[in-house]
Structure 1
Amino acid sequence: MSNVTLRIGGRDYTMACAEGEEAHVAELGRMIDDKVQSMGSAAQSEARQLLFAALLLADELHEARARLACAPSSASQADLLESIAARLETCAAALEA
């Protein structure tokens, strides 16, 4: 186990993580701190700031997953490209005739 100190909302938090994961955990901490900083203090408690930051990040994750679920798979993209190519070949053949 290893320890990483994260600075979030002006406070330091020491977190344990697996060996080799220090940079990743530090980057996650920076993401949380960015959210906390973007919200401003607005006289909110530390716990409330962290809760709102977590909710904003969870919302971003939810939206990203929804976009990924709606994105066509590479197999359907290949089928779509194949269909377009076939139509173009049909159009080219009609123009040549």
Structure 2
Amino acid sequence: MANITLTIGGREFMLACADGEEPHVTALARMIDEKLAQAGVVGQTEPRMLLFASLMLADELHELRRRPPQAVTPPPPLPSPPAPEIPAVLVEELARIADHVENLADLLEQKAPNA
């Protein structure tokens, strides 16, 4: 357990929290202190400051809960990896095979009976 000192509304408060949570708890205390400053109630009695801070934070939470959930847009698709470069020898061989297949198709069309 860690002990930290928080300053809220001009007053210091000692608090114990879990080890490693000190920055988070300190940030929360800053939020409360800012709410009190916005309301102009800094320096009032502790219960009154607590009441104002609680009401303001509860109002914020209420407004957030009333908002419709925002649509989550999916991340853009990852770019396609570049196509592997086909060696020139294979390109030439594929072209030769394609020519041969076309020649065979022409021969078959010539020999096929007319429909």
TM-score bucket (shorter structure): 0.5 to 0.7
Post-superposition shift, 1:9?
Answer: 0.8
Q: Matches of 1:42 and 1:12 in 2, distance apart? A: 13
Structure 2 Cα separation of the partners of residues 21 and 4 of structure 1? 10
**Which residue does the alignment assign to 1:40?**
40
Identity value in percent: 54
Tell me the matched-pair count: 74
Q: Distance in 1 between matches of 2:64 and 2:43?
A: 31
- The separation in 1 between residues aligned to 2:11 and 2:48, in whole angstroms, is 14
Shift in Å, 1:44: 4.1
Structure 1 residues 5 and 42: CA distance shift in structure 2, 3 A: closer
Q: How does 1:1-97 map to 2 (within 5 A)?
A: 1-41=1-41, 44-67=44-67, 70-74=68-72
What's the TM-score once normalised by structure 2's chain length? 0.56
Partner AA of 2:49 in structure 1:
Q
Please, which runs of 5 or more residues in structure 2 have no aligned partner? 75-115
Q: Which runs of 5+ in 1 are unaligned?
A: 79-97
Highest CA radius of gyration, 1 or 2? 2
- C-alpha change, 1:72 and 1:46, in structure 2 (3 Å) is closer
- Between Structure 1 and Structure 2, the one with more helix by share is 1
Runs (4 or more) in structure 1 with deviation over 4 Å come to: none
Q: Which has the higher contact order (CA 8 A, sep 6+)?
A: 1
RMSD: 2.2
Deviation digits for residues 40-84 of structure 1 (CA, Å, limit 9, x no counterpart): 2388422111111111011101211221xx22554xx78xxxxxx
Q: Secondary structure at the match of 2:4?
A: strand
TM-score normalized by structure 1? 0.65
